[in-house]
Structure 1
Amino acid sequence: MDVFGSVADLYQTVRPGYPPEIADEIVAYHGGRPASVVEIGAGTGKGTEVLARIGAPMTCIEPDPRMAALLAARFPDVRIHASTFERWMPPAGGVGLLACAMAWHWLAPATRNAHARRALAPGGTLAIFGNRYDYADPDQGAAIQSALHRIDPTVRERPADWVHQDVVDHGRFVNVRKEVYRRDLPLDKERYLGLLRTFGPYLSRSPEQQQRGLTALGKLVDDFGGIVVLDLRTTLVLGRAGRRTHAR
């Protein structure tokens, strides 16, 4: 997850946050305020903003020192564990809430659910949430996807509900459910290209491919009149460890 350290400041500036009502949804599902919160891959604190509203003692796991430095400056009361989730040792008895915002796909697919289950106290809650970026105008979306495909035809998107399916399929949690929040997010060219520069597929490409992508998409945004409107979909997946409870 340390691929983002080189753009930590930009990440904090341009990445949209999450609906604040996610905190209330987590507390209602858990059945009250959890005794403790641990966040996996906290980055600069986009998810931490929501989780801090719960009001429980929090530990954030973040292996990249540049991201962790911004996180510490923004949330001085949060304990930061500068390592990976796999190397972190949960406290005896487990934690009440284990959360992950936009980092679940960076964890090893074969073991992430098992590690998460072991980290939770009996009856504890797993909360995974993240943003998915689509386009409010289908024509804009089709043009952008076509341009990106010409630059790199190997890029593939995960299915919209892959996290929910991942948790269900691994069978480590009960009462698994999801909530979806949607909003339109208009962006001018500078902010849209800045957002693109914080995405993993962009950062993993060669400098030549990166520049080709920025040039092609910048021209498209100009053709759109200087504005791209994103259809921002936030999905929250919740699961229970151990005992079963009545789902709402």
Structure 2
Amino acid sequence: MPTLPREQPESAQPHQARRTAESFGTDPQRYDQARPGYPDDLVMRIVTGSPGPDVLDVGCGTGIAAGQFQAAGCAVLGVEPDARMADFARARGLQVEVATFEAWEPAGRMFDALIAAQSWHWVDPAVGVVKAAEVLRPNGRLAIFGHVFEPPAEVAGPFAAAYRRVAPDSPFSDQPARPPLEMYQAGYAKIADSIRETGRFTDPEQWRFDWERSYTRDQWLDLLPTTGGLTRLRPDQLAEILDAVGQAVDALGGRFTMRYTTLAATAVRVGSP
């Protein structure tokens, strides 16, 4: 859930914004190369806190998170609505079934963990947590997580100004350059509430992992087009934004350090299947 730009406008019902949700598969190779992975501590905490190795990855995309769980010894099944992303994930050795989570048929299969890496906002909240409980074994773990980006103001400001200039009618254009972390924490608190309300999980926990990554100009300009506010822009609009951001990074010496916070809402399935 990056802050620059966010994956979906705050006012929208994200799971209904299918054109945006399915726009990330336009260039799956770029998406896979540019998008960051997840903290190893998060992955291992989920693995060690689950009763077995069978993992369902909801909205697996190109398999970024799934690959980390496979490397940790898990058997991962991905569910992905975009066939282009699914094909890319299959090419890297992931088993993937093409469907939205809401329409996906488990066919009696059960899992030790269900993860959603930066994808749960595309799932209908009236369906998602209940269905997760139905496919998790007793003591199985539900873990919903994603990133908050915090680029320096010297990069975030020119991006926001360029975006407002080239796409003034976009629902993304009225966002602040650097929305506060507390806004995203509140979003994960809401997810935790939805888990709690089912009565089928232990009291949810909220986890936080802070880390940093250095970006060159080219690396950052490679990542930006994979984020939700830019995937549906015209080429000329995208080029103008990237030019403005590139100049801003050049003014910082051609690179900068990004502060990441990875947030998670997680709970354990209770009762019989």
Q: Same fold (TM over 0.5)?
A: yes
Q: Which amino acid aligns with 1:15?
A: R
Which is worse superposed, 198-207 or 158-167? 158-167
Pick one of 239, 255, 272 that aligns with 1:211: 239
Alpha-carbon shift at residue 24 of structure 1 (Å): 1.8
Inter-CA distance 90–146: structure 2 relative to 1 (3 Å threshold):
same
Which residue is equivalent to 1:192?
220
Pick one of 63, 87, 97 that aligns with 2:103: 87
- Please show how residues 102-113 of structure 1 align to structure 2 within 5 Å: 102-113=118-129
Distance 1:185 1:2 in 2: 27
Kindly indicate whether residue 190 of structure 2 is the aligned counterpart of residue 166 of structure 1.
Answer: yes
Asked whether the equivalents of residues 37 and 56 of structure 1 are also in contact (C-alpha less than 8 Å), the reply is yes
Inter-CA distance 59–223: structure 2 relative to 1 (3 Å threshold):
same
Kindly indicate whether residue 25 of structure 2 is the aligned counterpart of residue 5 of structure 1.
Answer: yes
Q: Which amino acid aligns with 1:86?
A: E
Alpha-carbon shift at residue 56 of structure 1 (Å): 3.3
Asked whether the equivalents of residues 11 and 195 of structure 1 are also in contact (C-alpha less than 8 Å), the reply is yes
Alpha-carbon shift at residue 199 of structure 1 (Å): 0.5
Which is worse superposed, 219-228 or 144-153? 144-153
Kindly indicate whether residue 61 of structure 2 is the aligned counterpart of residue 37 of structure 1.
Answer: no
Asked whether the equivalents of residues 66 and 76 of structure 2 are also in contact (C-alpha less than 8 Å), the reply is no
Distance 2:159 2:188 in 1: 27
Inter-CA distance 216–61: structure 2 relative to 1 (3 Å threshold):
same
Which is worse superposed, 89-98 or 58-67? 89-98
- Please show how residues 80-159 of structure 1 align to structure 2 within 5 Å: 80-92=96-108, 94-135=110-151, 137-152=152-167, 154-155=171-172, 156=175, 159=183
Q: Deviations over 1:40-95 (max 9, x none)?
A: 111111111222144233211122222122211212xx421122211212242632
Inter-CA distance 166–119: structure 2 relative to 1 (3 Å threshold):
farther
Inter-CA distance 162–106: structure 2 relative to 1 (3 Å threshold):
farther
Inter-CA distance 189–104: structure 2 relative to 1 (3 Å threshold):
same
Q: Which amino acid aligns with 1:229?
A: T
SS at match of 1:201: coil
Asked whether the equivalents of residues 164 and 177 of structure 1 are also in contact (C-alpha less than 8 Å), the reply is no
Segments ≥4 residues shifted beyond 6 Å: none
Asked whether the equivalents of residues 99 and 128 of structure 1 are also in contact (C-alpha less than 8 Å), the reply is yes
Which residue is equivalent to 2:5?
none
Asked whether the equivalents of residues 23 and 231 of structure 2 are also in contact (C-alpha less than 8 Å), the reply is yes
SS at match of 1:128: strand
SS at match of 1:44: coil
Which residue is equivalent to 2:206?
178
Asked whether the equivalents of residues 19 and 50 of structure 1 are also in contact (C-alpha less than 8 Å), the reply is no
User: Please, which runs of 5 or more residues in structure 1 have no aligned partner?
Assistant: 244-248
Which residue is equivalent to 1:246?
none
SS at match of 1:196: helix
Pick one of 246, 250, 257 that aligns with 1:222: 250
**Residues paired across the two proteins, number:** 238
Q: Which amino acid aligns with 1:185?
A: R
Which residue is equivalent to 1:58?
76
Aligned sequence identity (%):
27
Inter-CA distance 138–214: structure 2 relative to 1 (3 Å threshold):
closer
Alpha-carbon shift at residue 150 of structure 1 (Å): 4.1
